[in-house]
Copies of this chain bind each other. A is one copy, B any other.
Amino acid sequence: MHSFIELSKIFDEKFNTRHFPEHTPTLYDPAQYILQLGGKRVRPVCVLMGNELFDEIHEDAYFAAAGIELFHNFSLIHDDIMDKAPVRRGMPTLHAKYGESTALLAGDVMFVRAYEYLNRMKAGHLQKVLHLFNNTAKAVCEGQQLDMDFEKRDTVSMDEYLHMITLKTSVLLAASLQIGAILGGTGERNQQHIYEFGKNLGIAFQVQDDYLDAFGDPAKFGKQIGGDIIANKKTFLMIHALEAADESTKLSLLQSMTDNPADKVDKVLAIFKKCNIDGWAKELKEKYLQTALQHLQDIAVTEKRKACLAELASFFIERDS
């Protein structure tokens, strides 16, 4: 059994190569560019972990892992176009560097490459893996569309936000683990438990991300504290605050969002604290983490094999934040 760090290294050694032909460089050099920006390779490592939970890592799991990572990068390229994001991982986004049309096409061709990797696995599990992959890809698109829809709306309910976040970020983590499990030859029940482990872990991570944006340590967080508040983003925290606050507090919250005062972040944080949103968010994160860990426990393999998935959970979720 390998740790997250070990699997990440093993994957990177295989993955850090050119994934596109040398010809048509005006298309393929841009596509390769984003892959060289690096990243934690969480999703492909999840494929390998899901696989190793049940068996020695199979060659097909590397193909699936590469396919998942290429799909993830395809979605980043297209999301960056839609979000008009200028920077990713400290470097210009693909469309900022090469123009929107080439970025759009490079994303498309990256998506095809993802399917090419998946199609390299042995025929036995291919159809089931593709079925799950296709469902996941549609869900990710739906999540992005809902995210854009919500930006234009005044109010978003907690259920709606949870649904969007699940589609946009959690299902790919869940599917990565399940694809590994399918290739490990395990049955439907274990597959569902590992899927739910990943899905709930993803939601816990998003709650934490929303929490850290408001209450994180600026030195550790790596992003501007209060960025979501400045952008009027409907996060777990903001949605709950609007739902939980009394009328007058709610009004001053809405006023801060409309008026954009210079001390907006401080004002909103003060309201969050008054309504105990920080404590609530910690509890919510813990709830999803516990649900994830319960599903991990329910997987019918020895505890010893599960150690690295438990480690993955604590790698992503700070228990004391």
Contact = CB atoms under 8 A, between A and B. Distances in A.
A141 interface: yes
Number of copies: 2
A42 interface: no
B78 A104 contact: yes
Interface in A241-273: none
Contacts of A141: 27, 105, 108-109, 112
A111 interface: yes
Contacts of A138: 109, 112-113
A26 B126 contact: no
A145 B112 contact: no
A101 interface: yes
A131 B119 contact: yes
* Size band of the interface chain A makes with B: 20 to 34
A46 interface: no
B134 A115 contact: yes
Given A104-B104, A119-B134, A134-B119, A27 B112 contact: no
A123 interface: yes
A69 to B, nearest CB: 17
Contacts of A149: 26
A229 to B, nearest CB: 24
Contacts of A119: 127, 130-131, 134
Contact of A123 (B23, B127, B142): B127
Nearest to A108: B141
A225 interface: no
Contacts of A104: 78, 81-82, 104
A232 interface: no
Nearest to A138: B112
Contacts of A145: 24, 26-27, 102, 105
Contacts of A237: none
Interface in A113-140: 113, 115-116, 119, 123, 126-127, 130-131, 134, 137-138
Interface string A33-56: 000000000000000000000000
25 contacts: A23-B142, A24-B145, A24-B146, A26-B145, A27-B142, A78-B105, A82-B101, A82-B104, A82-B105, A104-B104, A108-B111, A108-B137, A108-B141, A109-B137, A111-B111, A112-B141, A113-B138, A115-B130, A115-B134, A116-B134, A119-B127, A119-B130, A123-B127, A126-B126, A126-B127
Interface of A: 23-24, 26-27, 78, 81-82, 101-102, 104-105, 108-109, 111-113, 115-116, 119, 123, 126-127, 130-131, 134, 137-138, 141-142, 144-146, 148-149
Nearest 6 CB-CB pairs, A to B? A27-B145, A82-B101, A109-B141, A112-B137, A24-B142, A119-B130
